[in-house]
Chains A and B, each alone.
Chain A
């Protein structure tokens, strides 16, 4: 079984400030981890993914995430927030075995960016 917990359902930052969205996972097998972004009334877009290669993963729009096995975490960061980053962000985990083929999503974090 696998699960994802996103700490903080809402995060608010000022434009230009650091963005940090937290994700912790639980998986009985080596995980594949993903961050998705959802803009209002749109589908989910893949930001980045960890697939057991480099632990620091760079994605689109200046986002990156670091896989820390000891902390079972995959936090998403961006050095400088932009107004266009305001959206909802979802962390997801994929495993193998009976869970193969299924992504399990966290409950989402709404990012608000203030001018």
Chain B
């Protein structure tokens, strides 16, 4: 069983479109995260949810909106996609950051 699963794995879309990425974890963790990995492999946190409550919201355009229907799911919706949104988006979960994260395999988003 996959601990943290993301769908889709690859996403190619045109500028201006709206798209969603889904994430689910079966580890029973309370906290879930979205990270963005850019073309230089730099990892930057976007959002964090703890028990469905938003606790970290970094400086991210408001075109990005996370949604957590329950503590096992954290989805990412992106409106009006731009070329600069092309990146790999990783979902992760943890019992708390001091325990480390379990990462999903990533979603490679390409905006054309």
Contact = CB atoms under 8 A, between A and B. Distances in A.
Interface residues of A, number: 24
Interface of B: 4, 31, 40-45, 48, 50, 55-56, 90, 96-106
B56 A101 contact: yes
A33 to B, nearest CB: 10
A102 interface: yes
A101 B48 contact: yes
Contacts of A44: 43, 90, 101, 103
Interface stretch (A60-68, A76-84, A103-111): A103-111
B41 to A, nearest CB: 5
Interface of A: 32, 34, 36, 38, 41-46, 49, 51, 88, 90, 94, 96, 100-105, 107-108
Contacts of B4: 43
Contacts of B43: 44, 90, 105
8 contacts: A34-B100, A43-B90, A46-B100, A51-B98, A102-B45, A104-B45, A107-B42, A108-B42
B48 A46 contact: no
